[in-house]
Chain A
Amino acid sequence: MEKNILEIKNITKNYGDLRALDDFGFSINRGEIIGLLGPNGAGKTSLISILSGTLKDFSGSVSFLGEDLFKNRKLKNNMGIVPQDMAFYDDLNAIDNLMFWGGLYDISKKKLKERAIDLLKIVQLNDRAKEPIKNFSGGMKRRLNIAIGLIHEPELILLDEPTVGIDVQAKVSILEIIKDLGKNGISVIFTTHQLSEVEEICSRIIIMDKGKKLVEGTLKELIDIVGEKEIVEIKGEFSIKSMNDLKKNIEFAEVIAIKENYISLSFKNTDKIPDMMEMFFKNKIKVSDLKIKSPNLETVFLKFTGRSIRD
């Protein structure tokens, strides 16, 4: 059996002068859950469109189950998606939706029906199976969204922000479902803005921005790259320009990101923080807030992208 279920290599996609994907690539193993992180405009949507076959004219290759994904349409029977949108029919009930979406794949009607009933149990919607979806809560819709993505028993599933806009309880339940997928040998590509979710369920993390893969590794590996340094976030009244001018004189810490009225720095030795503050005051820079954080995925993200994931 091949090790990589999906291998994306050197994908570059341009929209006129804009480069949406820039020599982008990664691979995923069977049963692996990887987190694909990137701020808005990172290139995730383009990547999803390429995988769905709706985006052409790109360079690079996508190999799925050892074959070129775009040369064998049947391969799509083994791939699923849970889109960010509630992409199903509100007027129909859960069973009707599962039967329709499942029907698009090469799967027998009998098996489809059995699978639909099983899935509704898994996502705890079996008692609401025949109720129009328009009566469902946000969490219920999210769970159904996942069930539809799994109806044809894919070997790889792409989950695009499956926990957006739902309460904590529903989120926990969805994360449990995703963890179980991995345990059952299904590979998962998981995109989210909730870094804590990635920390919780993903065995490997890829950070991308502006179409490029910036870094890849386990959570520990990524934190190690940042180093065991304390992260200091400072808010105040200063411009990016003034901070860039000042940056040259900061020797005791590494600047991670500078934004308007914001700077984050990585200190090996926090004893040096007062020195920095003194320098700020000398330069008449007003500081309103200072936070010291231990390195985590958020600081890793900030280091590599220079911005927060929500920007």
Chain B
Amino acid sequence: MKRIILILKNDIKRRLKSPLSILILLIIPVMMTGIIGTVFSPSENKMPKIRVLITDNDKELGAKVFIEAFKSPQVDMFQLELVEENKGRELISNNRGSALIIIPSGFSKNLLKKNKTNLLLIKNPSEQFMPNIVEEFSKTLSILLSGAIQVFEIDETLINSIKGTNMDYKSLITMLPMLKKNKTNAEKFKKLMTYLNPPLLEIKKEITGKKTNNTGINIFSYILPGISIMFLLFIIEIFIRDILSEREDGKLQRMMFAPLRACEYITARILSGWIMGILTYLIIVLIGKLIFNIDWGNYFFLFILIIITCFWIASFFALLNAFFKNRNQAGAFVAPIIMIFSAFGGSIIQTNQLPEAVRWVSALTLNHWFIIGANKIRSNIFPTTPILILLISGIILYIIASKALNKRIII
């Protein structure tokens, strides 16, 4: 035991003397969390509005209603600009708008006659999501408008009274009772209200699966665990790689000349990676709290998860190092393994974003179970399943690693 503690103390001392590489591996996840969190922060004033350009060649009621719907305060996600078609095309081609909607002349007249009419949509090709939102919104709006036209008899008077005015969304709403002037419309209007208040058909959403109920809205708390676990893998791997470097540079043989047992050495190495990993992750927890104000949830649960996770990682890399011939081989294989763990385990993208065909791979990764565990802990739930899975697999890895390493040391 004395020798195990000595090796451990020596490792800590060594790492403190040249901490730069570890510090960098600590800084990277923090910086990445900061960047991703800031970009995807749900805070409304930070989210850019979708810039929609509309060319109104109709200038009558149909177009008005369509345009005003984009401006409606309930939607509040578009920044609308009325432009001439050429100007609109130019703006899109200079990447200064998400989509251009061209309302053709005669749009309202065709609508009233229930004749099919086209709205032209030009999407910004360099954007991937915003133009699609504009398209889907326009489609829904078209269905509503088509529906309204089919339900109500709208006469020319109403159209003419609006023509040429600059009525906004609110004013247009006040016009609605005018529909009631027509007797048939009045009945239909009444009926419509009974269908909509409360709605005749409505969807009630329910989230299923094993998702925990996160009440916090701090986006960083979703990002940091995933990214930090990826870098924790790298950090503990550096500590555990001493097994290979000490064998290569003769330190192991020198140690074995002392009254040190091979099993003591193996325990010391795994323990060192384990404890250093725990200390490192505690720093990440602290940074998360101080910089990103992350509420990690129950800190006792979190500590248990960290202890078991670090044990798993230390055992895992000890096992890998028992099979690697030298540091170069380890360097070549370890980074890809970590990156695959991270890509499929939810550190790089959420696992539910993965193509469904490969989603099962994530259950084989540490990252997956750690992220699930951290999410549960944030909701103050003890992550029994992740902890049991990591603990049992970690113990198995430890046993195999110890035996394999012993065989490498005592030939």
The short answer to whether A and B are in direct contact, CB under 8 Å, is yes
A: which residues have CB within 8 A of B?
A: 48-49, 51-57, 73-77, 79-81, 83-89, 91-92, 96, 100-101, 103-106, 132, 148, 152
Please, how many angstroms separate the alpha-carbon atoms of A78 and B251 in the complex? 19
B255 close to chain A: CB less than 8 A: yes
| A92 x B250 contact (CB < 8 A) | no
Chain A residues with Cβ below 8 Å from B14 are: 89, 91-92
| A54 x B250 contact (CB < 8 A) | no
Chain B residues with Cβ below 8 Å from A76 are: 257-259
Most buried by A among B17, B251, B257, B261: B257
Please, how many angstroms separate the alpha-carbon atoms of A88 and B14 in the complex? 11
Chain A residues with Cβ below 8 Å from B254 are: 81, 83, 87-88, 101, 148
| B411 x A103 contact (CB < 8 A) | no
Shortest distance between the CB of A249 and any CB in chain B (Å): 49
| B18 x A53 contact (CB < 8 A) | no
B: which residues have CB within 8 A of A?
A: 2-3, 6, 10, 13-14, 17-18, 249-262, 409-411
Please, how many angstroms separate the alpha-carbon atoms of A54 and B410 in the complex? 4
Please, how many angstroms separate the alpha-carbon atoms of A83 and B253 in the complex? 8
Please, how many angstroms separate the alpha-carbon atoms of A57 and B2 in the complex? 29
Chain A residues with Cβ below 8 Å from B259 are: 73-77, 104-106
| A73 x B257 contact (CB < 8 A) | no
Chain A residues with Cβ below 8 Å from B18 are: 91
| B249 x A85 contact (CB < 8 A) | yes
Closest A-B pairs by Cβ, 7 of them: A85-B250, A104-B258, A87-B250, A52-B256, A76-B259, A81-B257, A87-B254
Cβ-defined partner of A79 (8 Å) among B13, B255, B257: B257
Cβ-defined partner of B255 (8 Å) among A57, A92, A96, A104: A104
User: Other than the known A54-B253, A85-B249, A152-B258, what 9 A-B pairs have Cβ atoms closer than 8 Å?
Assistant: A51-B257, A52-B257, A54-B252, A54-B262, A76-B258, A81-B254, A104-B255, A106-B259, A148-B254
| B256 x A53 contact (CB < 8 A) | yes
A91-B14, A92-B14 known; A104+B260 contact, CB < 8 A: yes
Chain B residues with Cβ below 8 Å from A86 are: 249-250
A100-B6, A105-B258 known; A48+B253 contact, CB < 8 A: yes
| B253 x A52 contact (CB < 8 A) | yes
Please, how many angstroms separate the alpha-carbon atoms of A75 and B259 in the complex? 8
> A103: nearest residue on chain B (CB-CB)?
B6
Please, how many angstroms separate the alpha-carbon atoms of A101 and B410 in the complex? 20
> A76: nearest residue on chain B (CB-CB)?
B259
Shortest distance between the CB of A220 and any CB in chain B (Å): 33
| A56 x B17 contact (CB < 8 A) | no
